[in-house]
Structure 1
Amino acid sequence: MTTASTDTATGTTAEGDILAVAREQVLERGEGLSETQVLEVLQLPAERLTEALALAHEVRMRWCGPDVEVEGIVSLKTGGCPEDCHFCSQSGLFDSPVRAAWLDKDRLVEAAKQTAKTGATEFCIVAAVRGPDEKLMEQIRVGVAAIRAEVDINVACSLGMLTQDQVDRLAAMGVHRYNHNLETARSHFPEVVTTHTWEERWETLQMVRAAGMEVCCGGIVGMGETLAQRAEFAVQLASLEPDEVPMNFLIPNPGTPFAHLDVPQGPDALMTIAAFRLAMPKTVLRFAGGRELTLGDLGAEQGMLGGINAIIVGNYLTNLGRPAEQDLEMLETLKMPIKALNDTL
């Protein structure tokens, strides 16, 4: 791939200003930026952040529309995971305060009901595992059936790496969307996880797509990656053509190998949001974990006006989020309608 020299003080390349290029390529034609172009956006000076966010918002409105998809998540199995994802307090290999716990079917259904009351169209069941064993698959079968019988909401799952048989069974259960994050760029992944590979995650995602389930795949910003690796990650996600990309920002959880890392800075996080939107103009881009710590209330509004078109409401797996009502009030203030269930089918 040929690259153009960039004046990092202005964001101008030999091919022209990167945001002007993006306006014609992404906004007008709907073609996502290349890796080199994403990096140019990430390297823009701070004084051009507002301009980048405004363009990303235009792209979102042009190719995705004004609706915001709301989702809630719940942990069916918390803690005790055998993998060593360095950001995760649920790993059984680290000295973190999280301990293994399970959620029963009745509480799972109740959580889905409470999620649906917020206007959410998606409810994701998450388990801290390398991949599901037979016991977990049976719990998922029972839980999904119970939720679908009582709650008008799409059910998604995040259960780690899957076999082809497990993919087929989840699809047959009626699981609408499967989440399995690549977490970071392929080149940076060995610095984040050593107990499995980036390629193993990729293989699960390919099977999910082939089985007809929607693909949810994102990652975490601020795990020691370079801007070049962040650009690499954006285009790797784009090549997967996911239906949804969750945008998480590192929470340096105590007891994890990444506890010493700094919380990503707000302007850096916002420029990343804009760059990812310009890389994936037609994808659901969802605010997820860490946004409260990194962006706060004002930054969250800037993100919603800078390319984000979906949001997780309530708490995350082991970290507290904002009250759902606060996020719903924000959407009302911004005059962003919540996507209806029949628009997600």
Structure 2
Amino acid sequence: MSTDILEVARRQVLEEGKGLTAAQALECLTLPDDRVEDLLALAHEVRMRWCGPEVEVEGIISLKTGGCPEDCHFCSQSGQFESPVRSVWLNIPELVKAAQETAKTGATEFCIVAAVRGPDARLMSQVRDGIKAINDAVEINIACSLGMLTQEQVDELVAMGVHRYNHNLETAKSHFGNVVTTHSWEERWETCLMVREAGMELCCGGIIGMGETVEQRAEFAGQLAELEPDEVPLNFLTPRPGTPFATYPLVEGAEALKTIGAFRLALPRTILRYAGGRELTLGDLGTRSGMLGGVNAIIVGNYLTTLGRPAEQDLDLLTELQMPIKALQQTL
């Protein structure tokens, strides 16, 4: 029997629906560059078989920007770094307007994000009021990303009708201490477990290009597969001025595409979402390659502290690739 990893993956993942192990993902990540197209083609077949052709579109908005007490080394919203981002709160009318504009693109997901360690009473109240106002104004699924949670806060968000919660592990457990020192990987894992067990959908991914080894990227894929999130947002580091990672190089395009393919094969049934950094790392051709290499969800418009492509460009690309936008009723 052949030991070629792509032939193994064709049997194991495409035919049987069993994701690659971390060791197998490493074999994909270390394929020679001349096999990237073969990897992406197989990942696309896996995506089509186990997820279908629809693409889930999401917009995000920052309710509280900047001033975060944590020291995530990639993030310009940390209050510990000399970055140009300053603490700002968004008001409810602005939140509703952003949700309405997001819905007009055809997006079914609107994620409310706050730069905090975890939500305090003020933030939970603001989120509660914001969700009610959005629900009164527009039909869209509401997701939240508010940091680490207590069980009581998880239950409150469920009661508010939050349908998905984002809390990224960010990187492999073995590398986490090089990225964040003010809280642990285990604390993040615990929040993810509470979210999943409470019945909310779990969105959990991370950032590629933060000094991790290729072995740690494979480790990360395996840890995400163990967690079984509904969605994995895949970000590529955009070095931000003033942060400890400000001088880190961008991930090479071939590395990024191998990561997309390997993560799809490790997570055959998961929503794999293009998130931050794809514009710089991959450009237009790379974005197209990823959509044909396992990605089945995108964030349209701008990110939290970086600019994205105009939403129309991404939507036009989906039309060209004959990939329908997932309808709202399919996500409820």
> How many angstroms apart in 2 are the aligned matches of 1:242 and 1:145?
26
Q: Secondary structure at the match of 2:174?
A: coil
- Cα offset, 1:262, TM superposition: 0.1
Match of residue 232 from structure 2: 245
Aligned positions, number: 332
Residue type of the partner of 1:137?
M
Pair 1:325-2:312 in alignment: yes
- Cα offset, 1:15, TM superposition: 5.9
Task: After superposition, give the CA deviation of every residue in 1:142-179 in whole Å (9 maximum; x if it has no partner).
Answer: 00111111111000000000001000000000001000
> How many angstroms apart in 1 are the aligned matches of 2:148 and 2:17?
32
> How many angstroms apart in 2 are the aligned matches of 1:20 and 1:320?
39
Residue type of the partner of 1:237?
L
Unaligned runs of 5+ in 1: 1-13
* Structure-to-structure mapping, 1:166-181, within 5 angstroms: 166-181=153-168
Q: Secondary structure at the match of 2:295?
A: coil
One of 188, 197, 218 as aligned partner of 2:184: 197
One of 217, 234, 254 as aligned partner of 1:267: 254
* Structure-to-structure mapping, 1:219-238, within 5 angstroms: 219-238=206-225
> How many angstroms apart in 1 are the aligned matches of 2:311 and 2:261?
24
One of 152, 169, 172 as aligned partner of 1:185: 172
- Cα offset, 1:85, TM superposition: 0.2
One of 126, 133, 145 as aligned partner of 1:158: 145
> How many angstroms apart in 1 are the aligned matches of 2:74 and 2:138?
33
Match of residue 72 from structure 2: 85
Q: Secondary structure at the match of 1:16?
A: coil
Q: Secondary structure at the match of 2:149?
A: coil
> How many angstroms apart in 2 are the aligned matches of 1:210 and 1:334?
36
Question: How big is the alpha-carbon RMSD for the aligned residues of Structure 1 and Structure 2?
Answer: 0.7
Pair 1:292-2:279 in alignment: yes
One of 276, 283, 295 as aligned partner of 1:308: 295
Q: Secondary structure at the match of 2:76?
A: coil
> How many angstroms apart in 2 are the aligned matches of 1:121 and 1:78?
23
Q: Which runs of 4+ in 1 moved over 6 A?
A: none
- Cα offset, 1:210, TM superposition: 1.0
> How many angstroms apart in 1 are the aligned matches of 2:45 and 2:279?
24
- Cα offset, 1:237, TM superposition: 0.4
Match of residue 36 from structure 1: 23
Q: Secondary structure at the match of 2:255?
A: helix
Pair 1:116-2:98 in alignment: no
Q: Secondary structure at the match of 1:184?
A: coil
Residue type of the partner of 2:139?
D
Q: Secondary structure at the match of 1:119?
A: coil
Task: After superposition, give the CA deviation of every residue in 1:17-74 in whole Å (9 maximum; x if it has no partner).
Answer: 0000000000000000011100000010000000000000000000000000000000
Q: Secondary structure at the match of 1:138?
A: helix
- Of all paired residues, the percent bearing the same amino acid is 73
Taking structure 2 as the reference length, the TM-score comes to: 0.99
> How many angstroms apart in 2 are the aligned matches of 1:131 and 1:80?
13
- Cα offset, 1:260, TM superposition: 1.2
Match of residue 19 from structure 1: 6
Match of residue 120 from structure 2: 133
> How many angstroms apart in 2 are the aligned matches of 1:326 and 1:110?
21
Match of residue 47 from structure 2: 60
Match of residue 49 from structure 1: 36
Taking structure 1 as the reference length, the TM-score comes to: 0.96
Pair 1:75-2:62 in alignment: yes
Task: After superposition, give the CA deviation of every residue in 1:245-292 in whole Å (9 maximum; x if it has no partner).
Answer: 000000000100001110111110000000000000000000000000
Residue type of the partner of 2:313?
Q
Q: Secondary structure at the match of 1:188?
A: helix
